[in-house]
A and B are shown apart, each in its own frame.
Chain A
Amino acid sequence: MIRARHGLLLIAPLALVLAGFFLAPVLMLLPTSFREYVPAAGFRPGYWTLENYLRIITDDFYREVIWRTLSLGLLVTLACLVLGYPVAYVIARGPPRWRMMLTLLVIFPMLLNLVVRSFGWIVLLANRGLVNNLLLQLGVLSAPVKLLFNLTGVMIGLTHIYLPFMVLMLVAAIRNVPRDVEAAAATLGSSRLHVFVAVTLPLSAPGILAGSILVFVLTISALVTPRMLGGPTYQVMATVIYDEYMQLLDWARGSALAFALTLMTVGIIALSSALTRRWAGMS
């Protein structure tokens, strides 16, 4: 049989690549977050500080950005849930012919370039964009409504980006709800709505949680869409990190924020894993 020694050989290349191009870089970023950057001079030698992290909690600007990032995460997750559940339901339970079509139509935008999609929203939402033009022409508006470079635009864009993820996770969850449990409820006299609320929804809850966690984590980590649809003035954590590195060249502050973001995502995922395991134990 295949010996264990072969096993190590099989996994070594991947392990090496990950160690060299993932683990090492991330670990080496940690010390940077404890240093101080002096503009145009580089890092202050031999000086270590917690200032970068403290500033995240105390500085108004950072706190606002973090608050905005988290609320965006929540709003987008909710929007994706509300919009995504019907689609997932029809894919999981609807006519087979629709299933393939719908699935492909959901996957297609997901595979499409992020930048292209965000660009599409710019064309749609700009002051001179399609939506405003249409509404002006129809006489619904007298002046263009600001749909970009604010919460609305970023939220619409992010919802659009992450909706397919939510749909796919929900489809898996709904598929796992045994049909005969629903049938049993129906024969016992439940209306369709009641069957949904009392049986389908709770039994698909683990999938709902998984999808929500995924979308939330992806949303708070997002860089491209918030930058394109929010512009340089409407900032989230990822875009601030980008600016610190590329414009301000303050790698120290940037890396501290980066680790703060990482802690949030990892923490949330760990929490949800623990929750799911407890749930799985109960069912």
Chain B
Amino acid sequence: MSSLTLKNLSKSFGEPPVVRDVSLTIEEGEFVSLLGPSGCGKTTILRMVAGLAAPDRGLILIGDEDVTRFPPNRRNLGLVFQSYALFPHLTVFENVAFGLRRRKIGGAELDRRVAETLARVRLDSFGERYPRQLSGGQQQRVAIARALAPQPRVLLFDEPLSNLDAQLRDAMQIELKRLQRELRVTTLFVTHDQAEALSMSDRVGVMARGVVQQLAAPEDIYHRPTTAFVASFIGKPNRLSGVVSLRDGSGGRVRIGAELELAAIQIEGPVGATVDVIVRQEAIAVRLGRAAQGEIDGRVVLRSFSGARVQVVVRAAGGVELIAEAPSSGAIASLAVGDAVALAVPSTAVFAMAPEAGGP
């Protein structure tokens, strides 16, 4: 098990650069996700770490070893592909054994290690089957077993769960996390799904346009986003247009529409500047009744029930519409269209940023 260090990694395929001067360190045994929209460079970074693409500049170190110029077969890494890339002409056993055979491991030890790894992903008796005989979830687990069997120093995942349906994906997330904890493998996980990244990782690196915007623990990413992009990418945003009306430290107040004013914890721009305002849906508290001090009056215009959660669209002063979301077990579930409600919008849920820096 080793740490993984990236130093000033850069790559472009023409203009603009896909990866810009990225540096980060993943500690031994740590699970780090790279999260971002497609095109942000996260997959390119993964491929450079694996040796499948060459960086224009920068270094890749596994432990203390500089592997930047090493071909992929000399890096001792594990890679789980989005499409699994199982070898269709080999049995499950031979797929998993492939990496071990390349390291000249054979005979009884090979059998033992393959059996062990298959047991770990709970595919004990599947050795003699072929990939085409397996379900998507099972193929997924074979891909993981195949990457794990040679005991790599670092484990890489390229959006491995995006081909699975929702329920299977949730189950696999938990299984993967459990596996990672057991084995304490240094893991780099690439995904565009924020729930996935936040739930599985020790730290999350949010990326946009080739740059790591913030690398921190999931709860810091969520509650204390350091850039506007991170604020808009994480959580469920209301996106509105507004004007800065007051600056106070790093925050202040923004005016949306003609009449609505909100306190914001983070503002980019001076007083008078036009800004994109992000208001987190899940942070807005809605209750029946008239607005008290610090609250906003509104009327429910739409209600949407999706099982565990309920969303309501509330029209406030000046025609501004805000979406609020809360668990369906709470008071929000009893609201109906036409109800007069009061909204409490904490400043910690409001972020204002310069318009062209908007999210995806």
A–B direct touch, CB within 8 Å, in complex? yes
Contacts of B52 in A (CB 8 A): 1
B77 CB, nearest partner CB in chain A, Å: 15
Docked CA distance A1–B69 (Å): 10
Contacts of A1 in B (CB 8 A): 51-52, 54, 71-72
Residues of A1-43 at the interface with B, using a CB-CB cut-off of 8 Å, are 1
B53 CB, nearest partner CB in chain A, Å: 9
B44 CB, nearest partner CB in chain A, Å: 15
A49 CB, nearest partner CB in chain B, Å: 54
Contacts of B72 in A (CB 8 A): 1
Residues of B28-73 at the interface with A, using a CB-CB cut-off of 8 Å, are 51-52, 54, 71-72
Query: In the complex, what residue of chain A is closest to B52 when comparing beta carbons?
Result: A1
Residues of B145-164 at the interface with A, using a CB-CB cut-off of 8 Å, are none
Docked CA distance A143–B54 (Å): 81
Give the interface size bracket for A toward B. under 10
Query: In the complex, what residue of chain B is closest to A2 when comparing beta carbons?
Result: B71
Docked CA distance A26–B127 (Å): 57
Docked CA distance A32–B52 (Å): 53
Query: In the complex, what residue of chain A is closest to B51 when comparing beta carbons?
Result: A1
Docked CA distance A215–B51 (Å): 48
Docked CA distance A1–B54 (Å): 9
Docked CA distance A261–B63 (Å): 68
Give per-residue flags for B291-310: 1 if the beta carbon is below 8 A from chain A beta carbons, else 0: 00000000000000000000
Give the interface size bracket for B toward A. under 10
- Dominant secondary structure at the B interface: loop
Query: In the complex, what residue of chain A is closest to B53 when comparing beta carbons?
Result: A1
Residues of B52-104 at the interface with A, using a CB-CB cut-off of 8 Å, are 52, 54, 71-72
A102 CB, nearest partner CB in chain B, Å: 28
Query: In the complex, what residue of chain B is closest to A3 when comparing beta carbons?
Result: B71
Residues of A63-84 at the interface with B, using a CB-CB cut-off of 8 Å, are none
A179 CB, nearest partner CB in chain B, Å: 26
Give per-residue flags for B116-152: 1 if the beta carbon is below 8 A from chain A beta carbons, else 0: 0000000000000000000000000000000000000
Contacts of B71 in A (CB 8 A): 1
Contacts of B54 in A (CB 8 A): 1
Docked CA distance A1–B52 (Å): 7
Docked CA distance A1–B48 (Å): 12
Docked CA distance A259–B54 (Å): 49
B98 CB, nearest partner CB in chain A, Å: 19
A7 CB, nearest partner CB in chain B, Å: 16
Docked CA distance A1–B55 (Å): 13
Docked CA distance A175–B80 (Å): 36
Docked CA distance A1–B51 (Å): 8
Residues of A140-163 at the interface with B, using a CB-CB cut-off of 8 Å, are none
B181 CB, nearest partner CB in chain A, Å: 34
Docked CA distance A1–B50 (Å): 11
B54 CB, nearest partner CB in chain A, Å: 7
Contacts of B51 in A (CB 8 A): 1
Docked CA distance A1–B72 (Å): 7
Query: In the complex, what residue of chain A is closest to B71 when comparing beta carbons?
Result: A1
Docked CA distance A1–B71 (Å): 6
B13 CB, nearest partner CB in chain A, Å: 15
Docked CA distance A69–B51 (Å): 58
Docked CA distance A87–B214 (Å): 64
Docked CA distance A1–B47 (Å): 12
B51 CB, nearest partner CB in chain A, Å: 8
B237 CB, nearest partner CB in chain A, Å: 39
Docked CA distance A1–B53 (Å): 8
B11 CB, nearest partner CB in chain A, Å: 14
A139 CB, nearest partner CB in chain B, Å: 63
Residues of B239-278 at the interface with A, using a CB-CB cut-off of 8 Å, are none
Docked CA distance A158–B141 (Å): 58
Docked CA distance A1–B73 (Å): 9
Docked CA distance A1–B74 (Å): 11
Residues of B198-224 at the interface with A, using a CB-CB cut-off of 8 Å, are none
Give per-residue flags for A191-224: 1 if the beta carbon is below 8 A from chain B beta carbons, else 0: 0000000000000000000000000000000000
Docked CA distance A77–B71 (Å): 54
B49 CB, nearest partner CB in chain A, Å: 14
Residues of A97-151 at the interface with B, using a CB-CB cut-off of 8 Å, are none
Docked CA distance A1–B75 (Å): 13
B305 CB, nearest partner CB in chain A, Å: 36
A242 CB, nearest partner CB in chain B, Å: 48
Docked CA distance A248–B207 (Å): 78
A117 CB, nearest partner CB in chain B, Å: 38
B321 CB, nearest partner CB in chain A, Å: 41
B95 CB, nearest partner CB in chain A, Å: 23
B47 CB, nearest partner CB in chain A, Å: 11
Docked CA distance A204–B160 (Å): 40
Query: In the complex, what residue of chain A is closest to B54 when comparing beta carbons?
Result: A1
Docked CA distance A80–B75 (Å): 58
Docked CA distance A126–B22 (Å): 82
B325 CB, nearest partner CB in chain A, Å: 40
A6 CB, nearest partner CB in chain B, Å: 12
Docked CA distance A10–B71 (Å): 20
Query: In the complex, what residue of chain B is closest to A1 when comparing beta carbons?
Result: B71
A137 CB, nearest partner CB in chain B, Å: 59
Give per-residue flags for A220-231: 1 if the beta carbon is below 8 A from chain B beta carbons, else 0: 000000000000
Q: 5 shortest A-B CB distances, which residue pairs?
A: A1-B71, A1-B54, A1-B52, A1-B72, A1-B51
What residues make up the interface of B, taking CB atoms closer than 8 Å to A?
Answer: 51-52, 54, 71-72
What are 5 contact pairs spanning A and B, CB under 8 A? A1-B51, A1-B52, A1-B54, A1-B71, A1-B72
What residues make up the interface of A, taking CB atoms closer than 8 Å to B?
Answer: 1
